[in-house]
Structure 1
Amino acid sequence: MELSEETAKNIATLQAKLDKKLGPEYISTRPGPGGGPKLTYAEGWKIINLANEVFGFNGWSSSIINLTTDYIDFNEDSKRYNVGATAIVRVTLRDGVFHEDVGYGNLENSKNKGQALDKCKKEAVTDAVKRALRNFGNLLGNCLYDKHYAQEIVKIKVPPVSFLLFSPEENSYSG
């Protein structure tokens, strides 16, 4: 199948965007498991906002292929729940191209079983969406799998992001 010149140009423009790496304002860190080295990641809402910018708010969608509760353990002594969940999510672009990936969520020591399940499922789905989106390119998080890049980007200090707020009275944005 031969692509029109316009389609080929659109694909090349999109690919050029996706090849860019995330800036430091999109990167967060947290302690590694067992006090190990810090983990570098991008928050779900930031990656979703980027996907909306790259593909358009109506240029992509996600669907849950599978959502499984892996375990619900109740500790009789502490009267607390430990819960884990796994999600498989498909991210589909307007043209039908898609990627799927798995995500995981867990919560330990929760007083409430329902809230623990809710949090774990949301975390698993968000993780799976992020992981599926990263398959489209560096800009949507794949660059974070490059350990050298991840180590260097966190050294750059960035000022806090200021968000534009909608003012209904003025029917405009103000920052």
Structure 2
Amino acid sequence: MHSIKKKTRKRIQSLLSKKLGPEYISYRQGFNGTKLAYIEGWVAISIANNIFGYDGWSSEIKSVTLDFCDESVGKISLGVSVVVRVSLVDGNFKEDIGFGSSENQRSKVNAFEKAKKEAVTDAIKRALRQFGDALGNCCYDKVYVSVIQKVLKHKNINFYENNLLRKNDELKCEELSDNISTELEKLDLTNE
């Protein structure tokens, strides 16, 4: 466990308190035709990596519960609940529950795979959002959601073909080690 320097902690807190731009928000149909705002799992993980650093946080599955399992006429439907803990390098953590379901699958393997992945992703997102608005908590603010729908999304994406990791790229151990050392120095961690 590491302490996070005061300057780094302030930067992290400042980023976490920001509400998300419209380019991060997705929508789905809710109960009675309502429109629900959410962030996709990969988006939440990407933002967490950017705020905390790729090695500044981790997630751990604490429990998995089979909530229901129905089989009929060669089809299986099931629901799974998962509790996940998201921990920061300084020892702070948040836990939450996620749910995943799979309807009318032909095999138990496919049903469990889909439901478990969905439940874990849901639990990670729900745990991450407890750290702040930038990790999805703002999606629960009805006033924010009604306003952000009217804000234009940025059209340009930071996509540069020369930044892609390609199959023919060689990662030399020494080069990789130097890059990791440089990145660790940037993390600004102490043992205070």
TM-score range, shorter chain: 0.7 to 0.9
Q: How does 1:57-136 map to 2 (within 5 A)?
A: 57-76=54-73, 79-136=74-131
Q: Does 1:142 align with 2:137?
A: yes
Cα RMSD for the two superposed structures? 2.1
User: In structure 1, what is the equivalent of residue 23 of structure 2?
Assistant: 25
Residues 116, 163 of structure 1: CA spacing in aligned structure 2 closer, same or farther, 3 A cutoff?
Answer: farther
Residues 116, 93 of structure 1: CA spacing in aligned structure 2 closer, same or farther, 3 A cutoff?
Answer: same
Given residue 14 of structure 1, which amino acid in structure 2 is its aligned partner?
I
Q: Helix, strand or coil for the counterpart of 2:49?
A: helix
Deviation at 1:147, TM superposition (A): 1.0
User: Within 1, Cα distance between the matches of 2:156 and 2:64?
Assistant: 35
Q: Are the aligned partners of 1:25 and 1:161 in contact in 2 as well (CA < 8 Å)?
A: no
Once the two structures are superposed, residues 26-54 of structure 1 have per-residue CA deviations (whole angstroms, 9 ceiling, x without a partner) of 10001113x52011100000000000000
Q: Helix, strand or coil for the counterpart of 1:72?
A: strand
User: In structure 2, what is the equivalent of residue 38 of structure 1?
Assistant: 35
Structure 1 length as normaliser, TM-score? 0.85
Once the two structures are superposed, residues 138-173 of structure 1 have per-residue CA deviations (whole angstroms, 9 ceiling, x without a partner) of 0001111101111221233323745444164688xx
User: In structure 2, what is the equivalent of residue 9 of structure 1?
Assistant: 7
1:50 to 47, 50, 58: 47
Given residue 100 of structure 2, which amino acid in structure 1 is its aligned partner?
G
Structure 2, unpaired ranges of 5+: 171-192
Higher relative CO (CA 8 A, sep ≥ 6), structure 1 or 2?
2
User: Within 2, Cα distance between the matches of 1:86 and 1:160?
Assistant: 38
Structure 2 length as normaliser, TM-score? 0.78
Given residue 80 of structure 2, which amino acid in structure 1 is its aligned partner?
A
Q: Helix, strand or coil for the counterpart of 1:156?
A: coil
Given residue 117 of structure 2, which amino acid in structure 1 is its aligned partner?
K
Q: Number of aligned residue pairs: give it.
A: 164
Structure 1, unpaired ranges of 5+: none
Given residue 36 of structure 1, which amino acid in structure 2 is its aligned partner?
G
Where do 4+ consecutive residues of structure 1 move more than 3 Å?
160-165, 167-171
Given residue 8 of structure 1, which amino acid in structure 2 is its aligned partner?
K
User: Within 2, Cα distance between the matches of 1:41 and 1:160?
Assistant: 21
